[in-house]
Amino acid sequence: MTCPFPGMDPFIEGQKWRNFHARMIVAIGDALVAQVAPRYDVDVEESVYLQADSHEVRYPDVSISRSSSSEESHSISTTIDLGAVATIEPRLYTIPDRETFSQRYLEIRDRETRRLVTAIEVLSPTSKNDGYSQYLRKRGEFFISGVNVVELDLLRGGRRLPTTEPLMAA
C-alpha cells in the first residue's frame, strides 16, 4: 500500500520529532524571509519550559517571617506564649531535578520598531501533552499583546488547542 501522505511520515511524532521540528522551523523561516523583507525580520526563537510536575505548588503550613518596622505599625500581631520550644535536628532531602524541554518558534518583527507582529508555532507533542498548560499561557500572552499567532498542528495525537469555532475532524 502506498503512503497516503506523500513526502511526509504520518508517524513522525514518535520517531525523530525534535530533528523534524527544528528543520521545519528553519525551512519555514527561510521561505518567509524573501516574502517579508525588507520591512520585517524573521527570527528563530526558543522557549524553555520546565517539564510538567504531577504535584501542584505547595505552600507551607507554617511560616516565620520578620516584618520591617513600617509594616509592623500597620499590621495586627498576635503573640502566643509557647513556653519552652522543642527543637529537632533538620533533615535534608534531595529534591529531584525537573526536566526541561525547549521548543523553537518563529517571530516576525517590524525591522524599524522591533515590534513583534507574528509568532509561528509548529506544535510539538509536548505542547499538546505535558507542556499543554505552559503553552496555553505563552499563547495567551501573545494574544493579549496583539500578536498574530499561526499554529501548525501536524500531529495526530495530543490535546487539541481551544478555539471559539469548532475544529475540523482530525
Q: In the chain, what are the domain boundaries?
A: 14-51+80-152
Of the ranges 25-39, 121-135, 142-156, which one carries the lowest mean pLDDT score?
121-135
HEC profile for the chain? CCCCCCCCCCCHHHCCHHHHHHHHHHHHHHHHHHHHCCCEEEEEEEEEEECCCCCCCCCCCCCCCCCCHHHHHHCCCCCCCCCCCCCCCCCCCCCCCCCEEEEEEEEEEECCCCCEEEEEEECCCCCCCCCHHHHHHHHHHHHHCCCEEEEECCCCCCCCCCCCCCCCCC
pTM above 0.75, yes or no: no
pLDDT at 129: 78
pLDDT at 56: 47
97 or 137: which carries more pLDDT confidence?
137
pLDDT at 91: 75
Q: What is the pLDDT of residues 22-65, one digit of tens each?
A: 889 999 999 999 999 999 999 999 877 666 554 545 555 555 55
